[in-house]
Amino acid sequence: MPGTPTRTFDVIVIGAGPVGENVADRTTAAGLDTVVVEAELVGGECSYWACDPSKALLRPVLAHSELHGVPGLESAADQPLDASAVLKHRDAWASQWDDAGQVEWLDKAGISLIRGHGRLAGPKEVTVTTPEGDLLLLTARHAVAVCTGTSAALPPLPDLEALRPWTSREATSAKEVPARLAILGAGVVAVEMATAWQALGAQVTLIAREPGLLPRVERFAADLVTERLRESGVDIRFDSGIASAVRQGSSDSNSNSNSTSNSNSSQVLITLIDGSEIVADELLLATGRAPRTGNLGLETVGLQPGDWLTTDDMFTVEEVSGEWLYAVGDVNRRALFTHQGKYQARIAGAVIAARAHRRPLDIRRWSRFVGTADHVAVPQVVFTDPEVASVGLTTAEAERTGQAVDVVDYEIGQVAGAAMYKAGYRGHARMLVDPKRHTVLGATFAGPGVAELLHSATVAIAGEVPVERLWHAVPAFPTISEVWLRLLETYRDQSTTV
């Protein structure tokens, strides 16, 4: 590219979400001159359209629900949520969709930022098209890390542009509560947004192509979420789908992802596959994620545009030689969670630094640990009412993979700490144990406040802690964590009766 301005760095990171920020932080701390390229807001999906705003919407909803059964607060539970206050709280957590604070953090960390769309242009080369339309060529001495994440995968409905559906972005950034919201999907985004918007005053219809919600979690947990959604007024249509959808009337809706408003003059007419019809003000398509690699220049390094990027346990892209190209976070499809992406970023940053400084890596040791963290002990919380917290294998996964497990169940409401948490506590815990090694292989908790139980389960699985050793980790009384003691007692009783 003769005449194109060129700059050289040790490391180029494409994408300034939490993953890209963490890669850059680690390489910069190791003394490598690092630049981050970002086309949108510094802070990425998690900060503005996913984790932070969605949980800011959901926390007041869950706290309000938990007032039922707490003496002295029942009357407050009967009062509706102040939707405008909740949305204002959400806006604050999304920093009003202003990334000045994140940019300041990059600057303090000594990380360079170039705004614009970055594309690979060959080995260790990245072109950036700036917002002004200028072209800049960046070259890396050591590494390029792709941290571009994912975007919503939309179903093949006709005239999608005219339909103006919500994706997860619009669902977490909408400025008003729609009177009627239809959601297509059965996964985490679908159930969390159904929980939030129903509580804020929308009439929600959830259209699930599957026979049940949350197909990747234990059935008992999904059933508890389904029951509670129905109790709250959500209309759930299982084994269904959308045959067609048309937006009727005019709308002043702003299609920008950080500002969605609703107009009573516009509505969506949805025809389901059974011929029935639903009328909604907004339609949320929560049907999965796709890698943001379609316009990344993958073809310049022998890869297929639009594909997921497969990596080894050092997060080096396997199909590209030379150990210079890394794919970190959701884009590698190993574990699509922000916390896992940040973990990967810490590993990748350390690997890049070690290779750049020609320090030896204990590949076998690292691979074992990374493999455990990214495949065996991946924690997830679904922030519904009730919460679902899980890590490791589920019963269905164990059956599918042929892994023998001892299944241990306990009703969390029978634990003193849960009964004190709220009257009529409904929740369930399951622990899966390897019958030969007597270590925990999986754990799922469903109930109010169970998210904070998850890290202990993750430690038990990642650390391969024998059950006999877990007996000596004493839970405080009276807390919900005492369910661990009850699970261990149940496992002991089951073992002695076999």
pLDDT tens per residue across span 457-485: 999 999 999 999 999 999 999 999 999 99
Between 495 and 166, the higher pLDDT residue: 166
User: Could you please report the per-residue DSSP string of 115-152?
Assistant: ESEEEEEETTEEEEE-TTS-EEEEEEEEEEEE---EEE
- Residue 428 CA to residue 308 CA, distance in Å, equals 36
**Mean pLDDT score, 271-291:** 97
CA distances from 213 to 67, 84, 156, 397 (A): 25, 29, 21, 16
pLDDT of residue 262: 45
* Chain region(s) in the chain for CATH 3.50.50.60: 6-49+94-151+290-375, 160-287
Output the average pLDDT for the chain: 94
pLDDT tens per residue across span 187-206: 999 999 999 999 999 999 99
Reduced DSSP (H G I as helix, E B as strand, rest coil) percent helix, strand, coil of the chain, to 5: 40, 25, 40
Q: CA nearest 235: which of 186, 193, 182? A: 182
Q: CA nearest 16: which of 92, 81, 83, 109? A: 109
Between 257 and 163, the higher pLDDT residue: 163
Share of the chain above pLDDT 70, in %: 96
Q: Taking a C-beta distance cutoff of 8 angstroms, is the pair 286, 185 a contact?
A: yes
Which of the four pLDDT bands, split at 50, 70 and 90, describes residue 255?
A: very low
Matching CATH number, 386-497, of 3.40.50.1260, 3.30.390.30, 3.30.1330.40, 3.30.1510.10: 3.30.390.30
Q: Taking a C-beta distance cutoff of 8 angstroms, is the pair 371, 313 a contact?
A: yes
Angle 341-342-346 (CA atoms, 0-180°, nearest 5)? Answer: 115
Which of the four pLDDT bands, split at 50, 70 and 90, describes residue 429?
A: very high
Q: Taking a C-beta distance cutoff of 8 angstroms, is the pair 136, 128 a contact?
A: yes
Residue 413 scores a pLDDT above 80: yes
Residue 445 scores a pLDDT above 90: yes
pLDDT of residue 57: 98
Tokens 């049940």: give the residue. Answer: 212
* Chain region(s) in the chain for CATH 3.30.390.30: 386-497
pLDDT of residue 372: 85
Q: Taking a C-beta distance cutoff of 8 angstroms, is the pair 115, 131 a contact?
A: yes
Residue 258 scores a pLDDT above 70: no
**Mean pLDDT score, 359-369:** 80
pLDDT tens per residue across span 10-30: 999 999 999 999 999 999 999
Q: CA nearest 446: which of 486, 418, 407, 405? A: 418
- CATH superfamily placement of domain 6-49+94-151+290-375: FAD/NAD(P)-binding domain (3.50.50.60)
Instruction: For residue 404, give the DSSP letter.
Output: -
Tokens of 352: 């890049």
Which of the four pLDDT bands, split at 50, 70 and 90, describes residue 497?
A: low
- Residue 459 CA to residue 23 CA, distance in Å, equals 24
Residue 253 scores a pLDDT above 50: no
Residues constituting the chain: 498
Residue 256 scores a pLDDT above 70: no
| CATH code for the structural domain at 160-287 | 3.50.50.60
Q: Taking a C-beta distance cutoff of 8 angstroms, is the pair 81, 199 a contact?
A: yes
Backbone angles phi, psi at 156, to 5 degrees: -80, 60
